[in-house]
Amino acid sequence: MQNTFTLQPFPSTQALFNLKITGNIARHENLLTISYTLLGDIQQVHIAPPETPQRKHELWQDTCFEFFIGAENSPGYWEFNLSPAGHWNIYRFDNYRQGMQEETAFTTLPFDVKHNSDSFTLALDVNLDKIISIHQPIEVAITTVIKSKNGDVSYWALSHKGAEPDFHLRESFILK
């Protein structure tokens, strides 16, 4: 089943430059497909140019497309970070912000990026077999960090459940 989504900026951060972030997510067997589309005045957004993809830390310090997956009825979860430059990382957590470790089950995470003057798209197909059983129901949070060229940062998610932007709150994993 495919779900479409529209991310919302955190209420206390300004939605920069009339941006809109939409996309699609689907799980077929254990293949997760997710795509993001960034629309609006994207010339004002800091989008790193394509580079040779590498696993890198702290991608969320810049514009970064993210999603979180947790197994239903389990406190553990994974954070996937995707940079417009092609860089990536996956972290595994034992519980809310606890036990953060780089997920070593993945050695590459190729995804497609298209940058046009008025839109930016990022699409990923990832086989979850390495981290979760095909029969295990999952809960997903879809998020994005947008950094403007002047340094302002806005935080986007399907829902914001905390008083501050916090993508790790399990109550925000609202897609099943």
pLDDT in tens, 150-173: 888 999 999 999 889 999 999 999
Give 91's strand partners.
79, 102
d(CA 79, CA 72): 15
pLDDT in tens, 94-151: 999 999 999 999 999 999 999 988 899 999 999 999 999 999 999 999 999 999 998 8
pLDDT in tens, 57-75: 999 999 999 999 999 999 9
Look up the pTM and report it.
Answer: 0.95
Domains of the chain: 2-172 (2.60.40.1190)
